[in-house]
Amino acid sequence: MSNYDSDILIIGGGMVGASLAAALAPLSLRVTVVEAKAPRDPGQPSYDDRSTALAYGSRRIIETLGLWPALESAATPIHGIHVSDRGRFGVTRLDRDEQGLPALGYVVDNRALGPVLWRAMEQSQVEILCPAGIKAINLKRDCAEVSVSTEDGPVVCNTRLLVVADGARSTTRELLGIGADITRYEQIAVITNVTPEKYHEHVAYERFTDTGPLAFLPMSNGRCSVVWTLPPDEADTALLCDDDQFLSALQDAFGHRLGRLTRCGSRHSYPLFLVKAAQISGERHVLIGNAAHGLHPVAGQGFNLGLRDVAALADVIADNDDPGDAIALRRYTQWRESDHDRVINLTDGLVRLFTSDFAPVKLARGAGLAALDLLGAPRGAFARQTMGLRGRLPRLARGVPLR
Ligand SMILES: Cc1cc2nc3c(=O)[nH]c(=O)nc-3n(C[C@H](O)[C@H](O)[C@H](O)COP(=O)(O)OP(=O)(O)OC[C@H]3O[C@@H](n4cnc5c(N)ncnc54)[C@H](O)[C@@H]3O)c2cc1C
């Protein structure tokens, strides 16, 4: 068994873990990443058929990391967002001009985003152990002793900071004995790409239907990336029926704002649940990304929130000689908790509000959307939150490099 030391050990080289490794590159720290699945493994979540809606704030972080040029040609800008409630009055619109920005966000294929982040991690002098997994963790006052199984045999790594970034079903969280509130939504997200008759004009549509939210996100070549939330039995039907039947049901749910839906790509499904870790830091360890908070995909917030974790943690680490210093980790936790709570409440609240069958709630939400459309100030606050521009921003989100 070989033994070695590192300053920071990141468990999980998914989109969030890889972003952190890339962000830490200028700090001359010894960083190790342990990743269970190689980039081309079909089970690797960072390279699947989903698209990610990147908030404008995330673009700034990616740009400060120097990665935007590699991504820009694959990113479709979102100029407007249209929110509606199927079969009821009331819509809300958000517009880039009103926010004074070139775009509210960007839609990128995970097949483009994942490799850009992985390559950035590879180029940043990080030690990558892949495929590899964690066997045991022993937390001590001055380091975490982590037993890792690799293809070449077991390794023990002593690290000053253990970063847990192994996703919503984090086994490292369990090994650390950290509990999590897990709520199943009894909903499945069916994803695909469609080509509508009319051009999307760079508008993202979020439509609340009786079964759950339905998103159409603008993509290249006039296509839209679709995330359709359905109860499990309806999701099975949507996955198994033929393309014509699927497009007809989707058309019925979305309506005719973009004309006839002419083609669709392959369909995939994701069970949805809310995960909230009982704590996000402790002695010599910190949780980021989905390991700390797994969200419903409504409003496309999960990766954006994780990337803000990355920017804040990198900021705190840059200001401390010891990356696992207890006071620094407490600072990180206090900084991130309010953003986590706001986004969890926003996404979970939207899902609950718009799937309620209670008649007065249905009436009130139509009125709420109409009121939000009329009232500039709350709409602006809502837009800043979803764009990741609210609250105290870390250096990377302000365009300031760490070194
Ligand atoms: C349908 C859908 C649509 C979405 N759309 C958006 C969107 O538009 N915008 C947005 O911001 N977010 C979106 N999200 C959320 C976003 O995909 C996630 O928040 C993000 O991918 C989380 O990244 P992560 O790196 O924290 O976790 P993961 O992507 O789960 O990565 C975890 C990594 O850890 C590895 N791993 C797991 N266990 C171990 C172990 N024991 N040891 C080592 N490695 C391990 C895994 O192989 C993986 O590489 C969407 C989610 C869904 C389901």
The full 3-state SS of 246-287, as one line of letters, equals: HHHHHHHHHCCCCCCEEEECCCEEEEEEEEEECCCEECCEEE
Angstrom CA distances, 332 to 75, 329, 394, stand at 30, 5, 11
* Residue 154 within a domain: yes
* Residue 174 within a domain: yes
The alpha carbon of 271 and the centre of ligand 1 are apart by a number of angstroms equal to: 13
SS3 content of the chain, % helix, strand, coil (to 5): 40, 30, 30
* Residue 198 within a domain: no
* Residue 208 within a domain: no
**Which letter does DSSP use for residue 26 in this model?**
G
State which H helix or E strand residue 337 sits in. helix 326-355
* Residue 233 within a domain: no
- Using alpha carbons, select from 340, 345, 319, 333 the residue that is nearest to residue 390: 340
Sequence letter at residue 320: N
At 46 the pLDDT is 66
Q: State the distance between the two ends of the chain, measured CA to CA, in whole angstroms.
A: 36
Ligand 1 pocket test, pick from 40, 44, 50 with the greatest ligand atom count within 8 Å of Cβ, gives 50
pTM higher than the cut 0.85: yes
* Residue 219 within a domain: no
| Domain encompassing residue 364 | 2-182+273-398
In angstroms, the CA 272 to CA 266 distance is 20
Is residue 117 within 6 Å of ligand 1 at its C-beta?
A: no
At 363 the pLDDT is 58
Residues written for the chain: 403
- Using alpha carbons, select from 88, 51, 318 the residue that is nearest to residue 200: 51
User: Can you tell me the mean pLDDT for 376-399?
Assistant: 82
Q: Which tokens sit at 284?
A: 């010599």
At 356 the pLDDT is 61
- Using alpha carbons, select from 320, 388, 358, 13 the residue that is nearest to residue 161: 320
Is residue 52 within 6 Å of ligand 1 at its C-beta?
A: yes
* Residue 226 within a domain: no
* Residue 313 within a domain: yes
Is residue 114 within 6 Å of ligand 1 at its C-beta?
A: no
CA 30 to chain centre: 26
The alpha carbon of 363 and the centre of ligand 1 are apart by a number of angstroms equal to: 35
Q: Which residues pair with 204 in a beta bridge?
A: 81
Give the model confidence (pLDDT) of 280-297 as tens digits: 999 999 999 999 999 999
Average pLDDT, the chain: 91
Ligand 1 pocket test, pick from 16, 164, 339 with the greatest ligand atom count within 8 Å of Cβ, gives 16
What angle (nearest 5°) sits at the alpha carbon of residue 254, between those of residues 253 and 260? 115
In angstroms, the CA 307 to CA 120 distance is 15
Q: What is the CATH number of the domain that holds 26?
A: 3.50.50.60
At 376 the pLDDT is 60
Angstrom CA distances, 133 to 107, 124, 153, 156, 174, stand at 32, 21, 11, 12, 14
Ligand 1 atom at shortest distance from the alpha carbon of 55: 11
Ligand 1 pocket test, pick from 174, 290, 295 with the greatest ligand atom count within 8 Å of Cβ, gives 290
Domains held by the chain: number: 1
Give the model confidence (pLDDT) of 318-375 as tens digits: 999 999 999 999 999 999 999 999 999 988 888 877 666 666 556 556 655 555 555 5
At 390 the pLDDT is 85
The alpha carbon of 295 and the centre of ligand 1 are apart by a number of angstroms equal to: 10
* CB 112, CB 74: distance < 8 Å: yes
Taking 70 as the threshold, does the pLDDT of residue 379 lie above it?
Answer: no
Give the sheet arrangement for strand 75-78, strand by strand: 51-55, 105-109, 75-78
Q: Taking each helix axis from N to C terminus, what angle separates 326-355 and 359-374, rounded to the nearest 10 degrees?
A: 120
- Using alpha carbons, select from 251, 111, 110, 257 the residue that is nearest to residue 194: 251
The alpha carbon of 372 and the centre of ligand 1 are apart by a number of angstroms equal to: 31
